[in-house]
Amino acid sequence: METGQPFLMPNRNKIIQHNELSIHSFANGFSFCSKSKIDFLPTNNDQKEFKKAFEELIDYYPKNTFSSISLVHFEDPSTFVPKALFDEANLERYLKHYKTNKGKSYFQYDAPDQSNLVNVYSYPKKVKIILEDIINDFQETHYNSLLSRTILNIATTKTQLYIHLQKDCMDLFLTMDKSIVFHNRFSVLSEDEFLYYTFFVVEQFKLESNAFDIIFLGKIDLFNSFYNAIKIYHQNIHFHQEFIIGKLAVENHNAPFLSQCFS
């Protein structure tokens, strides 16, 4: 059974505000998201040429167009640590199971007030250097902090498996009684890999068939084959935010749900 409306999020929870520029940093480039448009700037191996192109894109917008600028990191996965156990001195240690470039990575964390989890992540130092050279003031966060906030706002007391699909990967969040009990990012290049990782989590937590909901974050044509594949094995499927994602938004952003849902 598919439903959409019960999982819609009120406007007050939007993340990208009306007069904000949100720059989304991926391993292969940057998406510039505003209310009016989305642009993508691929990473250039020539640092000087890339910085010049970055400056030109920023200068495209008239001065004082935006009241604030945010940077959202998508480059690498993150990990959640219970606040009661968190120690800022151990940021690199928390990410030991993920590949990080020692000496070339910057370690950061988000600690949202409404959650009992701290989100720890890393990203290339060159990203921060480029932005600090060009933009004087910006707020930064990791995309999983945005996803977890969304999920905690809509989670119920039921067991729910939230799926966020990106180009070539997906994020899985398992919630029980309105709390996140599991999260991970998996590389996914086919429907078979998508099903394998999804039901790997189901098996690990011994979830009985149809005793839990699967909720996709967004309903996007690009991922129709994944939706159809899982319908064969599970009935309780829902979509949070059923809206049309424009073709250009998909082409210019690796995570279409986060390209427009919050704009």
Parse the chain into domains and list their residue ranges.
5-13+155-254
What is residue 208's predicted lDDT score, i.e. its pLDDT? 92
Domain covering 5-13+155-254 in this structure, CATH number: 3.30.420.260
Mean pLDDT of 68-81: 93
What is residue 228's predicted lDDT score, i.e. its pLDDT? 96
Q: In sequence order, what are the beta bridge partners of 120?
A: 79, 109
pLDDT at residue 74 tops 80 = yes
What is residue 85's predicted lDDT score, i.e. its pLDDT? 95
Half-sphere exposure of 21 (CA within 13 A, CB side): 21
DSSP string, the chain: ----GGGPPPGGG-SS-TTEEEEEEETTEEEEE-SS-EEEEE--SSHHHHHHHHHHHHHHSPTTS-SEEEEEE-SS-EEEEEGGG--GGGHHHHTTTS---TTTEEEEEE--TT-SEEEEEEEEHHHHHHHHHH-S--EEEEHHHHHHHHHHHH--SS-EEEEEEETTEEEEEEEETTEEEEEEEEE--SHHHHHHHHHHHHHHTTPPTTSSEEEEES--GGGHHHHHHHHTT-S-EEEE---PPPHHHHHT-SSHHHHHTT-
Between the alpha carbon of residue 197 and those of residues 171, 184, 188, the distances in Å are 10, 10, 9
Give the pLDDT confidence of 203-255 residue by residue, as tens digits: 999 999 879 999 999 888 889 999 999 999 999 999 987 665 666 667 889 99
Token digits of residue 78: 């993150």
Residue type, 196: Y
Whole-structure pTM value: 0.88
Cα 191 to Cα 227: distance, rounded to the nearest angstrom? 9
pLDDT at residue 40 tops 60 = yes
- 69/10: higher pLDDT: 69
pLDDT at residue 10 tops 90 = no
- 223/46: higher pLDDT: 223
> What does the mean pLDDT of the chain come to?
85
What is residue 172's predicted lDDT score, i.e. its pLDDT? 98
Give the pLDDT confidence of 151-194 residue by residue, as tens digits: 999 999 999 999 999 999 999 999 999 999 999 999 999 999 99
pLDDT at residue 7 tops 70 = no
pLDDT at residue 2 tops 60 = no
Give the pLDDT confidence of 84-117 residue by residue, as tens digits: 999 999 999 999 888 766 678 899 999 977 789 9
Token digits of residue 28: 């292969």
Report the share of the chain in percent with pLDDT over 90. Answer: 55
What is residue 63's predicted lDDT score, i.e. its pLDDT? 77
pLDDT at residue 139 tops 50 = yes
Residue 11's pLDDT band (boundaries 50, 70, 90)? Answer: very low
Half-sphere exposure of 161 (CA within 13 A, CB side): 27
- 249/202: higher pLDDT: 202
